[in-house]
């Protein structure tokens, strides 16, 4: 045990060093496909190796091949930002090695999950009667929503007998929806041909008119409208679909409304951005990811439902070996999703919510919103940059528009090329996106958990983009 303690101290020091020195690493590794693989032996060792050797290989093989998501120069995708206290909780979770499938296997894990989901629900301003469960990702949560909608519409028939071909279903989402919706409709047996990708408006948000037209058309063709997935914070531009108008349509035609707020949902912690939830009372389910913008280690996805029975009846299964005397008194979260085995995810969220407090979380979210606005203002002042989409949160979509490039295809090619030219030189990671009207632009997310590092990074990046055009493709 003394050796374990000694080795654990070494690991703790390495973790602390990594966090202290992360800005010194290249955010993107300088590797080619296969570089890491070729450094690894073709067979596992026949005898055990000491921890010192494992750590040496970690330093020389693994770390140089990692993309550093907590790096202050990471501006791509959506973040998976963490925090010191979340790391502490993950260590404790790993030490316990708990299997949290039912209340009896981990009573504290179950009841803590129930309580922290209530805390977060109330802080976000979601309906007080909703109940929540922690899923691994928003992809899993959305699959749960579509499967629940399917079983509600078929009155449990499909779960029991399978599809019999008598009824075809349709799911609706905007053209800017996340690819997890495409995957979910395939897994749920709805079929990718029955996913309706709807037109968006000038704000990149779903058009309610296009939704209703599509629903009515399907009804006329004896296709049953099943579910609408509305997005709060689309992947390409963080557009906000109009919940109230969409919800009224869902109520009128009897559709399940699922709200995908995987990234931007936590912004509802701020009273000034909570208006995006207008109409949330029409929703049947809602998901947001604390592991994206709430300083909680991946994976931690908060999934809420209006009717817990619709969820549980979709997934419930009770073999003899899982029955316990407490089943009628507790939440057995194995029946609230696909997986039987469950990690103790609630601990890290509990640590984060208690350490930061609501006010602390609000302060950091507001700082990220402010950085995005400041960055956009600096680009506008330069005169050669166009803001390509509204900025409701902390994502800035922009493109470089030099006066000598007038052709739209050439301008798209120019901006696509900038990503490859920029990232190796400045050691930052951005992401290109091509959306409505086939305009290619760059996505820049501001969400680093370290406020001082983020502010410093903003000053450097804004200055370079505004003054240094040597990287631009001519």
Average pLDDT over every residue of 54-81: 88
Q: Which position has the higher pLDDT, 441 or 386?
A: 386
Tens of pLDDT, residues 300-315: 999 999 999 999 999 9
| Cβ-Cβ contacts under 8 Å for 227 (sequence gap 6 or more) | 145, 146, 149, 150, 171, 172, 255, 256, 257, 258
Whole-angstrom distance, CA of residue 130 vs CA of residue 127: 6
pLDDT on residue 371: 86
- Residue in the block written with tokens 């450097």: 460
Average pLDDT over every residue of 397-414: 81
pLDDT on residue 472: 35
**With bands split at pLDDT 50, 70 and 90, how would you rate the model's confidence at 389?**
confident
pLDDT on residue 72: 81
pLDDT on residue 421: 64
pLDDT on residue 445: 65
- Residue in the block written with tokens 């995708």: 77
**With bands split at pLDDT 50, 70 and 90, how would you rate the model's confidence at 429?**
low
**With bands split at pLDDT 50, 70 and 90, how would you rate the model's confidence at 441?**
low
Q: Class of the 19-68 domain? A: mainly alpha
Is pLDDT at 283 greater than 70 in this prediction? yes
| Cβ-Cβ contacts under 8 Å for 5 (sequence gap 6 or more) | none
How many beta carbons lie within 10 A of that of residue 454, not counting itself? 17
User: In sequence order, what DSSP letters do the residues of 232-285 get, joined into one string?
Assistant: BS-TTT--B--HHHHHHHHHHHT-EEEEE-TTGGGGGGSGGGGGGGTTGGG-SE
Of the listed ranges 64-78, 262-276, 347-361, 453-467, the one predicted with least confidence: 453-467
| β-bridge partners, 400 | 385
- 8 Å CB contact between 429 and 74: yes
Q: Average per-residue pLDDT in the chain?
A: 88
Domain ranges for the chain: 19-68, 92-352, 361-467
Is pLDDT at 352 greater than 80 in this prediction? yes
Average pLDDT over every residue of 404-417: 79
The rounded percent of the chain whose pLDDT value lies above 90 is: 65
- Taking the domain 361-467, which CATH number applies? 3.90.1150.10
- Residue in the block written with tokens 């203002």: 377
The structure's pTM equals: 0.90
**Helix, strand, coil percentages in the chain from 3-state DSSP, rounded to 5:** 50, 15, 35
Tens of pLDDT, residues 157-180: 999 999 988 899 999 999 999 999
Q: Are strands 285-288 and 256-260 parallel, antiparallel or unpaired?
A: parallel
- What radius of gyration, in Å, describes the C-alpha atoms of the chain? 24
pLDDT on residue 430: 57
Token pair for 256: 């399940």
What b/e readout covers 252-289, taking b as 16+ CB neighbours within 10 angstroms?
ebebbbbbbbbbbbbbbbeeebeebbebbebbbbbbbb
Helices (H) and strands (E) in the chain, counts: 15, 11
How many beta carbons lie within 10 A of that of residue 420, not counting itself? 10
CA 5 centroid distance within chain:
35
Do 19-68 and 361-467 fold alike per CATH?
no
- 8 Å CB contact between 86 and 354: no
pLDDT on residue 460: 54
The rounded percent of the chain whose pLDDT value lies above 70 is: 88
Tens of pLDDT, residues 99-128: 988 998 999 999 999 999 999 999 999 999
pLDDT on residue 382: 77
**With bands split at pLDDT 50, 70 and 90, how would you rate the model's confidence at 464?**
low
- Name the DSSP class of 376: H
Fold for the domain defined by 92-352:
3.40.640
**With bands split at pLDDT 50, 70 and 90, how would you rate the model's confidence at 396?**
confident
Handedness of CA 179, 181, 183, 185 (dihedral sign): negative
pLDDT on residue 440: 56
pLDDT on residue 431: 55
């Amino acid at each position: 045990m003394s050796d374990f303690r000694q080795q654990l101290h070494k690991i703790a020091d390495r973790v602390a060093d990594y966090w202290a020195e992360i800005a010194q690493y290249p955010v993107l590794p300088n590797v080619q496909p296969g570089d890491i693989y070729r450094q690894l032996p073709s067979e596992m060792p026949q005898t055990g190796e000491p921890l010192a050797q494992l750590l040496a290989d970690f330093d020389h093989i693994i770390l140089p091949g990692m993309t550093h998501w907590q790096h202050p120069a990471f501006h791509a995708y959506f973040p998976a930002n963490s925090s010191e206290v979340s790391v502490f909780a993950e260590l404790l979770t790993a030490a316990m090695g708990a299997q949290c499938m039912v209340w009896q296997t981990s009573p504290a894990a179950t009841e803590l999950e129930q309580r922290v989901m209530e805390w977060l629900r109330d802080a976000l301003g979601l309906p007080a009667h909703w109940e929540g469960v922690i899923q691994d990702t928003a992809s899993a949560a959305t699959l749960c929503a579509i499967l629940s909608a399917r079983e509600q519409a078929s009155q449990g028939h499909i779960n029991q007998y399978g599809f019999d071909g008598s009824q075809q279903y349709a799911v609706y989402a905007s053209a800017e929806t996340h690819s997890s919706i495409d995957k979910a409709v395939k897994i749920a047996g709805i079929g990718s041909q029955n996913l309706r990708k709807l037109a968006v408006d000038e704000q990149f948000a779903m058009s309610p008119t296009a939704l209703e037209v599509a629903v009515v058309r399907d009804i006329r063709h004896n296709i049953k409208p099943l579910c609408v997935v509305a997005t709060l914070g689309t992947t390409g531009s963080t557009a906000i679909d109009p919940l109230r108008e969409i919800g009224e349509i869902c109520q009128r035609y009897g559709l399940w409304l699922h709200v995908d707020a995987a990234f931007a949902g936590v912004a509802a912690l701020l009273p000034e951005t909570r208006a995006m939830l207008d109409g949330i009372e029409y929703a049947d389910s809602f998901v947001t990811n604390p592991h994206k913008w709430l300083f909680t280690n991946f994976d931690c996805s908060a999934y809420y439902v209006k009717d817990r029975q619709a969820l549980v009846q979709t997934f419930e299964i009770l073999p003899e070996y899982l029955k316990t005397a407490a089943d009628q008194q507790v939440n057995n979260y194995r029946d609230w999703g696909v997986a039987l085995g469950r990690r103790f995810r609630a601990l890290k969220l509990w640590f984060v919510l208690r350490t930061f407090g609501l006010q602390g979380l609000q302060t950091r979210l507001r700082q990220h919103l402010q950085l995005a606005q400041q960055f956009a203002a600096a680009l506008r002042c330069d005169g050669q940059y166009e803001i390509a989409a509204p900025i409701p949160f902390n994502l800035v979509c922009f493109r470089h528009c030099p006066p000598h490039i007038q052709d739209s295809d050439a301008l798209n090619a120019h901006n696509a090329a900038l990503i490859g030219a920029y990232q190796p030189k400045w050691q930052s990671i951005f992401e290109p996106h091509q959306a409505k009207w086939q305009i290619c632009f760059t996505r820049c997310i501001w969400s680093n958990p370290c406020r001082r590092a983020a502010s410093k990074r903003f000053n450097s990046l804004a200055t370079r983009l505004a003054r240094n055009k040597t990287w631009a493709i001519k």
